[in-house]
Amino acid sequence: MKIDVGWFARFGALGFVCLLWTPGIGQAQYCGVGGGPVCDPGLVCEPVSATTGLCCPDDPMTGQPPVCIGPSGPPAATVLASDLIGLLGLASDPALAADLFTGPWTNWYRDGRERGLAKLALMRGILETYNLTDMYVGGATGVPLVTDPARPSPMCPPGDYAARTLDGSCNDPLNPLMGARGTRFGRNVPLAGAHADPSMLLEPNPRKVSLSLLRRRIGRFQPVPFLNNLAGAWTQFQIHDWFDHGRPHTRDVIEVPLSRWDPLRFTRGLDTLIVPATRADPTRVAGRDDALPPTFTNEVTHWWDGSQIYGSDDATAHRLRAHHGGRLRVQADGLLPVGSRGYSDTGMRENFWVGLELLHTIFALEHNAIADMLAATYPSWDDERLFQTARLINAALIAKIHTLEWTPAILPNSSLDVAMNTNWYGLNHFACPPLPEIPGLYPNPVVYGVVGNAAGRDLHDAAYAMTEEFVSVYRMHPLLPEVFAVRSARSGRLRQIVPTGRTRDGGGRQLVERHGMTDMLYTFGTSHPGALVLGNYPRFLQDIEIPGRGVMDMGTVDVLRDRERGVPRYNQARQMLGMPPVPDFLTLTGGDRGLAHRLQRVYGTIDRLDLMVGTFAEAQRPSCYGFGETLFQVFTLMATRRLQADRYYTELYNADTYTNEGLIWVEANSMKSVLLRHFPDLADTGLAHVDNAFYPWE
């Protein structure tokens, strides 16, 4: 990070003469110390316990009592120009690097805002330097990816206007296949640490891990009290835009032996669980790629381009488009057309359930609203241009909702809220007046933001791709509750209780047809997803039939996939991500002897602990986050990367490409405004009282 701190010293006075934007400052309230939350309705407490929802006791380091945050955002989400100066100076101070950890844990959230943000910026900078590895020989920036010799790099002819391609190619005309569908996942660990060890594939038995450590006990659902179920469904909606390893191989299988008392023996008559291996990388070339760890390819585009809505290939997009007015096909009743197996036809249809049914419908409707706005403003545009521009705007709105609404909702911490706003807008957004483009500093994305920063695009010397470790940390199946209580939005009356397993595929579509979008959204808005902790894995996913794959236990599969794909185990991953290893199970579980003992029984030693299991077991969470710091490390890195690598969020995020009206649309809208546009009856529900639509609506 190149920072001219001296310049700031000279302009330091700015901070003192400015009237600064201080959103939500009036909302700060103090909670009862040590007791349950006494926040007003719609407010949540920070720090809040991820598992119990109670306010955390006073922070032992600072002695600060918890505060209530929301619905208008965290208190004092403001960085003074003078803070900004101090922050930049701090982030470039080598002494700060020596103070990133207390014991094995990060400590940025225990510091004041300025120092905490400086630490976040520093950690991200370190990760960007050491933890972005692409999986192509010679695939670094500017060197076109060589994939399958049978699939030569496409030529990217200049068009009249910039538009995303369906398969994600030509985002960068100098490296046309970068981020395209069918290219490899990258890694967040060095190649040497990314090799799978076949002899350890079943060590310990992943089904044992699933049953002994992951399984949710009957009647013991652990909710996240400060989130609603839209936030859980949203997570999967997003990952379906970013990655999919595709349907597995049918012949090559992994056999997982079942114990004598395994329930699957009695319910399904099985003595072995057969897990098809991940589909092999068809672009791997013998000789050339032999030294590489296992490689796998992405079935969808790696970019944040709304491919889950539009598809990643021509045939899908052609089927979904209305071919007039730039619109997508939607039925007269406002639902998506029905595709095969009785549920909505859309760009990505794997692992579908009612949560995805809702979100895919909403953002197809949003696409059409944007296309209509563009058609009215630019009557001479043809269907193609209207479609392409509406897609860009819709995808950017989704990216903004994820960055500025979903993330601060699941990670309720005011410094993080500033950091996410900084990702999008830059710290300059909080300064008044904004700093000009200062030589030596501009286009530093920390100050000037990533989005729309023409010169802020940065690949950090690794071709852009989603990574195996990123897939791993998004294995968030515990978000799914066991049942949904469907309620009327108008009266709150209970209409039906439906097990989540029955909302899959055609079951989800039937629910939406029976109860309507408004009641289903209300049901999601007023109920809670599961916490990302051990003992909270949905039972229905542990004995599930997937069409074409037979009986599966997703808990077993989650563990097995990471081992098969060479994702390092928990402590190894931490070290490769620049974090100290955790010394023992008791430290990991924050002193919970019972849990530590159970982990010990299954794993023997902490160095064998799987990454996903370790992240669920982490008791130490920054300000009681929805998830722990190991996962957060990968998250921090990749959240910025998705924006920073993409020309459509950096140099092409301008009025020429998006239209002025499009930029305003992205800026002016939020998850709440989108919901209210298409389902105005929700204005009479608790949604009216929350700013962030992922907070519980009552």
248 part of the interface to ligand HEM, by CB under 6 A: yes
Classify residue 128 by burial, with Cβ atoms within 10 Å: 0-12, 13-18, 19+.
buried
244 part of the interface to ligand HEM, by CB under 6 A: yes
Contact 626, 531 (CB under 8 A): yes
187 part of the interface to ligand HEM, by CB under 6 A: no
Single residue of 243, 649, 658, 697 touching ligand HEM by CB under 6 A = 243
Piece of 33-41, 205-213, 421-429, 467-475 that binds ligand HEM (CB under 6 A): 467-475
Q: Classify residue 169 by its DSSP letter.
A: T
Contact 277, 440 (CB under 8 A): no
φ/ψ of 291, rounded to 5, equals -80, -10
Single residue of 476, 567, 609, 666 touching ligand HEM by CB under 6 A = 476
Minimum CB–partner distance for residue 50 and ligand HEM (Å): 16
516 part of the interface to ligand HEM, by CB under 6 A: no
634 part of the interface to ligand HEM, by CB under 6 A: no
Cα gap 502→630, rounded to integer Å: 33
Minimum CB–partner distance for residue 544 and ligand HEM (Å): 6
**Residue that the structure tokens 């597995």 belong to:** 248
Piece of 31-39, 128-136, 244-252, 253-261 that binds ligand HEM (CB under 6 A): 244-252
Q: Classify residue 33 by its DSSP letter.
A: T
Q: In the annotation, is 537 catalytic? A: no
Binding pattern for the stretch 524-553 against ligand HEM, x by CB under 6 A and - elsewhere: ----------------------x-------
Contact 517, 488 (CB under 8 A): no
Single residue of 51, 183, 188, 236 touching ligand HEM by CB under 6 A = 236
CA angle, residues 526, 528, 530, in degrees to nearest 5: 170
Half-sphere exposure (CA, 13 Å, Cβ side) for 486? Answer: 22
231 part of the interface to ligand HEM, by CB under 6 A: no
Piece of 37-45, 123-131, 236-244, 412-420 that binds ligand HEM (CB under 6 A): 236-244
471 part of the interface to ligand HEM, by CB under 6 A: yes
Minimum CB–partner distance for residue 53 and ligand HEM (Å): 20
Piece of 208-216, 240-248, 370-378, 602-610 that binds ligand HEM (CB under 6 A): 240-248
Cα gap 565→557, rounded to integer Å: 12
Count, residues near ligand HEM per rule CB under 6 A: 22
Classify residue 197 by burial, with Cβ atoms within 10 Å: 0-12, 13-18, 19+.
exposed
Binding pattern for the stretch 484-513 against ligand HEM, x by CB under 6 A and - elsewhere: --------------------x---------
Half-sphere exposure (CA, 13 Å, Cβ side) for 484? Answer: 34
**Residue that the structure tokens 């919901």 belong to:** 675
Piece of 242-250, 433-441, 517-525, 595-603 that binds ligand HEM (CB under 6 A): 242-250
**Residue that the structure tokens 């239209």 belong to:** 659
Contact 146, 176 (CB under 8 A): no
Structure tokens that stand for 21 in this block: 């934007």
Piece of 92-100, 323-331, 469-477, 595-603 that binds ligand HEM (CB under 6 A): 469-477
Q: Which residues have C-beta within 8 Å of that of residue 668, sequence separation ≥ 6? A: none
555 part of the interface to ligand HEM, by CB under 6 A: no
The bridge status of strand 483-487 relative to strand 494-499 is antiparallel
Catalytic residue, from 109, 425, 448, 474: name it: 474
Piece of 88-96, 106-114, 472-480, 520-528 that binds ligand HEM (CB under 6 A): 472-480
Cα gap 590→609, rounded to integer Å: 16
Single residue of 178, 231, 374, 479 touching ligand HEM by CB under 6 A = 479
Cα gap 273→265, rounded to integer Å: 10
Q: Whose Cβ is closer to ligand HEM: residue 244's or residue 366's?
A: 244
Minimum CB–partner distance for residue 553 and ligand HEM (Å): 10
Q: Whose Cβ is closer to ligand HEM: residue 369's or residue 546's?
A: 546
402 part of the interface to ligand HEM, by CB under 6 A: no
561 part of the interface to ligand HEM, by CB under 6 A: yes
Give residues 352-371 in contact with ligand HEM (rule: CB under 6 A): 353
Q: Cα dist. 301→67, 85, 458 in Å?
A: 41, 39, 19
Q: Whose Cβ is closer to ligand HEM: residue 184's or residue 504's?
A: 504
Minimum CB–partner distance for residue 665 and ligand HEM (Å): 27
Cα gap 60→531, rounded to integer Å: 24
- Residue 499: its H or E element: strand 494-499
351 part of the interface to ligand HEM, by CB under 6 A: yes
Beta bridge partner(s), residue 504 = 353
CA angle, residues 338, 539, 595, in degrees to nearest 5: 145
Judged by DSSP in three states, 44 sits in strand
237 part of the interface to ligand HEM, by CB under 6 A: no
Judged by DSSP in three states, 147 sits in coil
Minimum CB–partner distance for residue 655 and ligand HEM (Å): 34
Minimum CB–partner distance for residue 299 and ligand HEM (Å): 8
Q: Which residues have C-beta within 8 Å of that of residue 218, sequence separation ≥ 6? A: 539
694 part of the interface to ligand HEM, by CB under 6 A: no
Q: Whose Cβ is closer to ligand HEM: residue 235's or residue 518's?
A: 235
Single residue of 554, 595, 606, 638 touching ligand HEM by CB under 6 A = 554
Single residue of 27, 169, 210, 235 touching ligand HEM by CB under 6 A = 235
Q: Classify residue 530 by its DSSP letter.
A: B
Judged by DSSP in three states, 187 sits in strand
Catalytic residue numbers read 474
Binding interface with ligand HEM (CB under 6 A): 232, 235-236, 239, 243-245, 248, 351, 353, 471, 474-477, 479-480, 504, 546, 554, 557, 561
